[in-house]
Amino acid sequence: MKRRSLLTMLLFTAVFGYRATAQNVIRQVPCSNESIKHQADSIKQDMANQGFIVVKEASMTMESEYEMPVIVPLTQGSWYQFVFIGDMSSKLYEVRMFDWNEKQVVYQKKMWGDVDGNVISYSYIPQFSEYHMIKPLQVNKKKKTDLCGYVMLLKKTK
Residue 17 within any structural domain of the chain: no
Alpha-carbon distance 4 to 153, whole Å? Answer: 26
Alpha-carbon distance 64 to 117, whole Å? Answer: 16
Q: Which of 14-18, 111-115, 122-126, 136-140 is the least confident region? A: 14-18
Q: Does the pLDDT value for residue 43 go beyond 50?
A: yes
Measured CA to CA in angstroms, residue 81 lies from 4, 21, 106, 142, 156 at distances of 28, 33, 12, 31, 8
pLDDT band at 2 (very low <50, low <70, confident <90, very high): low
> How high is the pLDDT of residue 14?
47
> How high is the pLDDT of residue 15?
43
Chain mean pLDDT for the chain: 86
CB 97 within 8 A of CB 105: yes
| Interval 48-94: pLDDT, tens | 999 999 999 999 999 999 999 999 999 999 999 999 999 999 999 99
Residue 12 within any structural domain of the chain: no
Residue 21 within any structural domain of the chain: no
Q: Which domain holds residue 50?
A: 30-156
| pTM for the full predicted model | 0.80
User: In this structure, what CATH number is given to the domain that contains residue 93?
Assistant: 2.60.120.380
pLDDT band at 9 (very low <50, low <70, confident <90, very high): low
β partners of residue 88 = none
Residue 73 within any structural domain of the chain: yes
What is the average pLDDT across 100-117? 88
Question: Other C-beta atoms within 10 Å of 56: how many?
Answer: 13
Residue 79 within any structural domain of the chain: yes
CB 134 within 8 A of CB 55: no
Residue 104 within any structural domain of the chain: yes
Residue 7 within any structural domain of the chain: no
Residue 44, helix vs strand vs coil: helix
The number of folded domains in the chain is 1
Residue 2 within any structural domain of the chain: no
> How high is the pLDDT of residue 16?
47
